[in-house]
Amino acid sequence: MKIAGQLNVYDLPRICPLLCRETNPEYQSGGTRAVKVRGVEFGGDRPVVIAGPCAVETHEQTLTVARAVKRAGARMLRGGAYKPRTSPHDFQGTGLEGLLILRIASEETGLPVVTEVMDPRRVEEVAEHADMLQVGSRNMQNYPLLLEVGRAGKPVLLKRGMGASLCEWLGAAEYIASQGNLDIVLCERGIKAFASGEYSRYVLDLNVIPAVRENSFLPVIVDPSHATGVASMVEPASRAAMEFGAQGLIIEVADFSQDRPRCDALQAIDEETLARIVQFADSRRHYAPSVQVA
Protein backbone atom coordinates (compact mmCIF):
# COMPACT_ATOMS: atom_id res chain seq x y z
CA MET A 1 0.00 0.00 0.00
CA LYS A 2 1.31 3.43 -0.89
CA ILE A 3 0.83 6.11 1.78
CA ALA A 4 0.65 9.79 0.85
CA GLY A 5 3.85 11.61 1.76
CA GLN A 6 5.88 8.44 2.26
CA LEU A 7 8.87 8.27 -0.06
CA ASN A 8 11.54 5.76 -0.87
CA VAL A 9 14.43 5.61 -3.33
CA TYR A 10 12.12 4.41 -6.12
CA ASP A 11 10.54 7.88 -6.07
CA LEU A 12 13.87 9.59 -6.80
CA PRO A 13 13.45 9.80 -10.61
CA ARG A 14 10.34 11.92 -9.99
CA ILE A 15 11.78 13.96 -7.08
CA CYS A 16 15.13 14.78 -8.62
CA PRO A 17 15.21 13.96 -12.35
CA LEU A 18 18.10 16.39 -12.87
CA LEU A 19 20.34 14.55 -10.40
CA CYS A 20 19.23 10.95 -10.50
CA ARG A 21 21.36 8.28 -12.14
CA GLU A 22 18.30 6.60 -13.60
CA THR A 23 17.09 9.66 -15.49
CA ASN A 24 20.50 10.68 -16.82
CA PRO A 25 21.68 8.12 -19.39
CA GLU A 26 25.28 9.38 -19.41
CA TYR A 27 25.60 8.36 -15.73
CA GLN A 28 23.53 5.17 -15.80
CA SER A 29 26.48 2.81 -15.89
CA GLY A 30 28.41 4.69 -13.20
CA GLY A 31 30.62 7.72 -12.94
CA THR A 32 30.47 10.85 -10.83
CA ARG A 33 30.02 14.42 -11.97
CA ALA A 34 33.30 16.34 -11.65
CA VAL A 35 32.66 19.42 -9.54
CA LYS A 36 35.55 21.87 -9.83
CA VAL A 37 36.34 24.50 -7.25
CA ARG A 38 39.24 26.71 -8.40
CA GLY A 39 41.37 23.82 -9.62
CA VAL A 40 40.26 21.31 -6.97
CA GLU A 41 38.10 18.53 -8.40
CA PHE A 42 35.48 16.61 -6.43
CA GLY A 43 34.34 13.30 -7.87
CA GLY A 44 37.66 12.42 -9.54
CA ASP A 45 40.09 9.70 -8.49
CA ARG A 46 41.57 11.73 -5.68
CA PRO A 47 39.53 12.39 -2.51
CA VAL A 48 39.34 16.05 -1.47
CA VAL A 49 40.09 16.90 2.14
CA ILE A 50 38.76 20.27 3.30
CA ALA A 51 39.88 21.54 6.71
CA GLY A 52 39.88 24.64 8.85
CA PRO A 53 38.41 26.22 11.94
CA CYS A 54 34.77 25.89 12.88
CA ALA A 55 34.47 29.67 12.92
CA VAL A 56 36.59 32.50 11.60
CA GLU A 57 37.33 34.32 14.85
CA THR A 58 40.38 36.49 14.25
CA HIS A 59 42.90 37.17 11.49
CA GLU A 60 45.70 35.54 13.47
CA GLN A 61 43.69 32.43 14.41
CA THR A 62 42.47 31.86 10.85
CA LEU A 63 45.86 32.42 9.21
CA THR A 64 47.62 30.12 11.70
CA VAL A 65 45.08 27.36 11.14
CA ALA A 66 45.08 27.88 7.35
CA ARG A 67 48.88 27.46 7.25
CA ALA A 68 48.58 24.25 9.30
CA VAL A 69 45.87 22.97 6.94
CA LYS A 70 48.13 23.65 3.97
CA ARG A 71 51.16 21.95 5.61
CA ALA A 72 49.03 18.89 6.44
CA GLY A 73 48.20 18.51 2.73
CA ALA A 74 44.47 19.34 2.76
CA ARG A 75 43.34 20.98 -0.47
CA MET A 76 40.61 23.38 0.62
CA LEU A 77 40.01 25.71 3.56
CA ARG A 78 36.77 25.81 5.56
CA GLY A 79 35.62 28.34 8.17
CA GLY A 80 32.31 29.87 9.14
CA ALA A 81 31.95 33.64 8.98
CA TYR A 82 28.19 33.43 9.56
CA LYS A 83 27.52 30.77 12.21
CA PRO A 84 24.22 29.00 12.91
CA ARG A 85 24.20 28.86 16.73
CA THR A 86 21.63 27.28 18.99
CA SER A 87 21.28 30.42 21.11
CA PRO A 88 21.07 33.97 19.74
CA HIS A 89 23.17 34.96 22.76
CA ASP A 90 26.12 32.85 21.58
CA PHE A 91 28.92 34.10 19.29
CA GLN A 92 27.36 34.47 15.84
CA GLY A 93 30.55 34.67 13.76
CA THR A 94 32.42 37.65 12.39
CA GLY A 95 30.33 38.17 9.24
CA LEU A 96 31.76 40.25 6.43
CA GLU A 97 35.03 40.75 8.33
CA GLY A 98 35.33 36.95 8.53
CA LEU A 99 34.79 36.64 4.78
CA LEU A 100 37.61 39.11 4.17
CA ILE A 101 39.91 37.19 6.54
CA LEU A 102 39.11 33.97 4.65
CA ARG A 103 40.01 35.71 1.39
CA ILE A 104 43.40 36.73 2.80
CA ALA A 105 44.02 33.19 4.10
CA SER A 106 43.08 31.79 0.72
CA GLU A 107 45.39 34.15 -1.15
CA GLU A 108 48.33 33.36 1.12
CA THR A 109 47.92 29.57 1.07
CA GLY A 110 46.41 29.13 -2.40
CA LEU A 111 43.61 27.04 -0.87
CA PRO A 112 40.09 27.64 -2.21
CA VAL A 113 37.56 28.53 0.48
CA VAL A 114 34.17 27.11 1.42
CA THR A 115 31.98 29.00 3.87
CA GLU A 116 28.37 28.87 4.99
CA VAL A 117 25.60 31.17 3.86
CA MET A 118 22.45 31.17 5.98
CA ASP A 119 20.47 34.13 4.70
CA PRO A 120 19.13 34.40 1.14
CA ARG A 121 19.80 38.16 1.35
CA ARG A 122 23.52 37.51 1.87
CA VAL A 123 24.11 35.01 -0.93
CA GLU A 124 25.57 37.64 -3.25
CA GLU A 125 27.93 38.93 -0.56
CA VAL A 126 29.17 35.46 0.41
CA ALA A 127 29.49 34.40 -3.25
CA GLU A 128 31.68 37.41 -3.91
CA HIS A 129 34.28 36.22 -1.38
CA ALA A 130 33.96 32.42 -1.27
CA ASP A 131 34.90 29.82 -3.87
CA MET A 132 32.17 27.44 -2.74
CA LEU A 133 28.93 28.13 -0.84
CA GLN A 134 28.00 25.89 2.06
CA VAL A 135 24.36 25.27 2.96
CA GLY A 136 24.29 23.95 6.52
CA SER A 137 22.36 21.09 8.03
CA ARG A 138 19.81 23.42 9.65
CA ASN A 139 19.05 25.07 6.32
CA MET A 140 18.92 22.03 4.07
CA GLN A 141 15.21 22.52 3.50
CA ASN A 142 15.27 26.31 3.35
CA TYR A 143 13.92 26.36 -0.20
CA PRO A 144 14.22 30.12 -0.88
CA LEU A 145 17.89 29.90 0.22
CA LEU A 146 18.51 26.87 -2.03
CA LEU A 147 17.02 28.68 -5.03
CA GLU A 148 19.12 31.79 -4.38
CA VAL A 149 22.28 29.70 -3.94
CA GLY A 150 21.43 27.90 -7.19
CA ARG A 151 21.54 31.25 -9.01
CA ALA A 152 24.80 32.48 -7.47
CA GLY A 153 27.15 30.96 -10.03
CA LYS A 154 29.33 29.16 -7.46
CA PRO A 155 29.67 25.45 -6.60
CA VAL A 156 27.65 24.41 -3.55
CA LEU A 157 28.37 22.13 -0.60
CA LEU A 158 24.99 20.85 0.58
CA LYS A 159 25.02 19.32 4.03
CA ARG A 160 22.43 16.73 4.93
CA GLY A 161 19.73 17.88 7.33
CA MET A 162 20.27 16.13 10.66
CA GLY A 163 16.82 14.56 10.34
CA ALA A 164 16.61 14.30 6.58
CA SER A 165 16.02 11.16 4.54
CA LEU A 166 17.94 10.53 1.32
CA CYS A 167 14.89 11.58 -0.73
CA GLU A 168 14.60 14.87 1.17
CA TRP A 169 18.32 15.53 0.80
CA LEU A 170 18.40 14.87 -2.94
CA GLY A 171 15.15 16.82 -3.29
CA ALA A 172 16.89 19.79 -1.67
CA ALA A 173 19.81 19.41 -4.09
CA GLU A 174 17.30 19.41 -6.95
CA TYR A 175 16.16 22.93 -5.90
CA ILE A 176 19.72 24.15 -6.50
CA ALA A 177 19.97 22.19 -9.76
CA SER A 178 16.60 23.59 -10.93
CA GLN A 179 18.28 27.01 -11.19
CA GLY A 180 20.82 25.66 -13.67
CA ASN A 181 23.59 24.86 -11.19
CA LEU A 182 24.57 21.19 -11.05
CA ASP A 183 27.89 21.86 -9.34
CA ILE A 184 26.76 20.40 -6.05
CA VAL A 185 28.74 18.31 -3.56
CA LEU A 186 26.71 16.46 -0.93
CA CYS A 187 27.96 16.15 2.66
CA GLU A 188 26.83 13.60 5.27
CA ARG A 189 27.36 15.18 8.73
CA GLY A 190 25.60 12.84 11.15
CA ILE A 191 21.92 12.37 11.89
CA LYS A 192 19.86 12.52 15.06
CA ALA A 193 19.04 9.07 16.38
CA PHE A 194 18.15 7.64 19.77
CA ALA A 195 21.80 7.52 20.83
CA SER A 196 22.80 10.96 19.63
CA GLY A 197 24.18 13.08 22.41
CA GLU A 198 24.86 10.18 24.75
CA TYR A 199 28.46 9.38 23.84
CA SER A 200 28.84 11.36 20.63
CA ARG A 201 27.14 14.34 19.09
CA TYR A 202 25.21 12.77 16.20
CA VAL A 203 25.23 9.33 14.56
CA LEU A 204 27.43 9.11 11.47
CA ASP A 205 25.31 7.43 8.79
CA LEU A 206 27.96 5.62 6.79
CA ASN A 207 25.30 3.59 4.97
CA VAL A 208 24.05 6.64 3.14
CA ILE A 209 27.33 7.03 1.24
CA PRO A 210 26.90 4.01 -1.10
CA ALA A 211 23.18 4.83 -1.28
CA VAL A 212 23.96 8.33 -2.59
CA ARG A 213 26.50 6.95 -5.04
CA GLU A 214 24.04 4.43 -6.43
CA ASN A 215 21.16 6.81 -6.81
CA SER A 216 22.83 10.05 -7.87
CA PHE A 217 25.90 11.11 -9.82
CA LEU A 218 26.81 13.92 -7.41
CA PRO A 219 30.02 13.57 -5.37
CA VAL A 220 29.49 12.86 -1.66
CA ILE A 221 31.84 13.74 1.19
CA VAL A 222 31.68 13.26 4.98
CA ASP A 223 32.05 15.64 7.93
CA PRO A 224 33.42 13.46 10.76
CA SER A 225 33.77 16.48 13.07
CA HIS A 226 30.10 17.40 13.46
CA ALA A 227 29.01 13.77 13.04
CA THR A 228 30.93 12.68 16.14
CA GLY A 229 31.62 15.86 18.10
CA VAL A 230 34.55 14.03 19.70
CA ALA A 231 38.11 14.81 18.58
CA SER A 232 39.41 11.26 19.16
CA MET A 233 36.66 9.83 16.93
CA VAL A 234 37.43 12.07 13.96
CA GLU A 235 40.32 10.01 12.57
CA PRO A 236 38.60 6.57 12.75
CA ALA A 237 35.37 8.09 11.40
CA SER A 238 37.34 9.56 8.49
CA ARG A 239 38.85 6.17 7.67
CA ALA A 240 35.47 4.47 7.89
CA ALA A 241 33.95 7.08 5.60
CA MET A 242 36.66 6.45 3.02
CA GLU A 243 36.02 2.69 3.22
CA PHE A 244 32.36 3.34 2.48
CA GLY A 245 33.24 5.30 -0.65
CA ALA A 246 33.26 8.93 0.51
CA GLN A 247 34.88 11.15 -2.09
CA GLY A 248 36.24 13.59 0.43
CA LEU A 249 36.12 14.89 3.99
CA ILE A 250 35.51 18.21 5.72
CA ILE A 251 37.24 18.48 9.08
CA GLU A 252 37.52 21.03 11.88
CA VAL A 253 41.03 21.91 13.01
CA ALA A 254 42.35 24.21 15.73
CA ASP A 255 45.71 25.62 16.74
CA PHE A 256 45.92 24.54 20.35
CA SER A 257 48.76 26.94 21.17
CA GLN A 258 46.25 29.78 20.79
CA ASP A 259 43.04 30.53 22.70
CA ARG A 260 40.43 27.78 22.92
CA PRO A 261 38.12 27.93 19.86
CA ARG A 262 34.86 29.74 20.59
CA CYS A 263 32.78 27.02 18.89
CA ASP A 264 33.06 23.25 18.74
CA ALA A 265 36.37 23.07 20.65
CA LEU A 266 35.84 19.43 21.68
CA GLN A 267 35.77 18.12 18.12
CA ALA A 268 38.74 20.05 16.71
CA ILE A 269 41.82 18.02 15.79
CA ASP A 270 45.45 19.15 15.45
CA GLU A 271 47.69 19.44 12.40
CA GLU A 272 49.42 16.12 12.97
CA THR A 273 46.16 14.17 13.07
CA LEU A 274 44.93 15.99 9.98
CA ALA A 275 48.12 15.08 8.12
CA ARG A 276 47.55 11.38 8.91
CA ILE A 277 43.95 11.59 7.69
CA VAL A 278 45.04 13.28 4.45
CA GLN A 279 47.60 10.53 3.90
CA PHE A 280 45.01 7.83 4.47
CA ALA A 281 42.51 9.52 2.15
CA ASP A 282 45.17 9.86 -0.55
CA SER A 283 46.03 6.16 -0.22
CA ARG A 284 42.40 5.49 -1.19
CA ARG A 285 42.92 7.28 -4.53
CA HIS A 286 41.66 4.59 -6.85
CA TYR A 287 39.56 2.77 -4.29
CA ALA A 288 36.24 1.53 -5.60
CA PRO A 289 33.98 0.55 -2.71
CA SER A 290 32.46 -2.89 -2.90
CA VAL A 291 29.40 -1.90 -0.84
CA GLN A 292 26.31 -1.96 -3.04
CA VAL A 293 22.78 -1.08 -2.12
CA ALA A 294 20.16 -3.56 -3.27
Judged by the rule CB under 6 A, the positions of this chain that interact with ligand PEP are: 54, 80, 84, 116, 136-138, 159, 189, 223, 226
Q: List C-alpha distances in Å: 226 to 54, 189, 246.
A: 10, 6, 16
Name the residue nearer to ligand PEP (CB basis): 21 or 226. Answer: 226
Judge whether 253 and 267 are in contact, CB under 8 Å. Answer: no
Q: Which of 131, 188, 205, 264 binds Mn ion (CB under 5 A)?
A: 264
Three-state secondary structure call for residue 144: helix
| CA dist list (Å): 216 to 199, 200, 253 | 32, 29, 30
* Nearest approach, Cβ of residue 159 and ligand PEP (Å): 4
- Between residues 112 and 136, which has the closer beta carbon with respect to ligand PEP? 136
Q: Could you tell me how many residues of this chain bind Mn ion (CB under 5 A)?
A: 2
Based on its alpha-carbon atoms, the radius of gyration of the chain, rounded to whole angstroms, reads 18
106-109: long-range contacts at Cβ-Cβ below 8 A with a sequence spacing of 24 or more? Answer: 106/66, 106/77, 106/131, 108/63, 108/66, 108/67, 109/66, 109/67, 109/69, 109/70, 109/77
Q: Which stretch binds Mn ion (CB under 5 A): 33-41, 84-92, 262-270, 271-279?
A: 262-270
Q: Binding partner of residue 84 among Mn ion, ligand PEP, none, CB under 5 to 8 Å per kind? A: ligand PEP
Told to check if 54 binds Mn ion by CB under 5 A, we report: yes
Torsion of CA 158, 164, 168, 174, to 10 degrees: 0
Q: Closest CB to Mn ion among 24 and 196? A: 196
159 binds, among ligand PEP, Mn ion, none (CB under 5 to 8 A by kind): ligand PEP
Rank residues 174 and 223 by Cβ distance to ligand PEP and give the closer one: 223
Q: Which is nearer to ligand PEP, 148 or 223 (CB)?
A: 223
Q: Which residues is 80 bridged to in the sheet?
A: 55
The footprint of Mn ion (CB under 5 A) covers: 54, 264
